[in-house]
Structure 1
Amino acid sequence: MSDTMVMILASAAVAYGARVTGYLILSRFERIHFRVAAALDAVPAAVMTTLVVPAAINGGWREILVIAAAVLAAIRFGTMATVIFSMVAILALRAV
């Protein structure tokens, strides 16, 4: 199994575990403080940043081009469509 696949599976397991644990903890409260809700809303952007920044710094022209295209796609489309578009774009450019 490649390092990339291990990273993807490990990230998925950690993300799933975090969601389940967060749900179990937060389901015990009737209301969530607005600051906690704001912090939780910022988590997806922080996680995506940790995945994108190393590719932008260490990557070549293909990665930078896909990141720029992903930013434009994110303006127009939702998160899932942007992620799928970006994955297909980087796979296509790396195959060239």
Structure 2
Amino acid sequence: MDDLAIFWIILAAALATYATRVGGYVLITRMRTLPPRLEQALNAVPAAVLTTLWAPSFFTGGWDIRLALLAAALVSLRYPPLVMLAAGWAAALAARHFLGL
């Protein structure tokens, strides 16, 4: 694939991303009230995005990654994000050091 084809692919992806973001904004701002189903769908987006971020690592990574993700998930239920990050990092470090993973 040549450089020009890659340029057009990147440009098309950028335009599609921009159009969907602007289109969603314009659509929602034109509504006076959000239908209940749309509001429920929008409330589900953060959980869906979070799942798409951690699920591939959890299922394809090693045990050190799984332990780090589990530790971070448990700590995130009670503590702020920085503490969650430190707990996940410490769990991965401990698994790699003590378990040789």
Q: Is TM > 0.5 for Structure 1 vs Structure 2?
A: yes
1:24 Cα offset (Å): 2.6
For the Cα contact (< 8 Å) 2:76–2:84, is it kept in 1? no
| Matched residue, 1:29 | 31
Unaligned runs of 5+ in 2: 1-13
Unaligned runs of 5+ in 1: 1-12
Provide the aligned C-alpha RMSD in A: 3.6
Instruction: Give aligned pairs, total.
Output: 79
| Matched residue, 2:89 | 89
Larger Rg: 2
Mapping of residues 40-51 of structure 1, within 5 Å = 40-51=42-53
Q: What TM-score comes out, normalization by structure 2 length?
A: 0.58
Identity %: 39
**Cα distance in structure 1, aligned partners of 2:83 and 2:27:** 29
1:21 Cα offset (Å): 4.2
**Cα distance in structure 1, aligned partners of 2:60 and 2:53:** 12
Q: What TM-score comes out, normalization by structure 1 length?
A: 0.60
**Cα distance in structure 2, aligned partners of 1:35 and 1:42:** 11
Mapping of residues 11-90 of structure 1, within 5 Å = 17=18, 20-77=22-79, 81=81, 85=85, 89=89
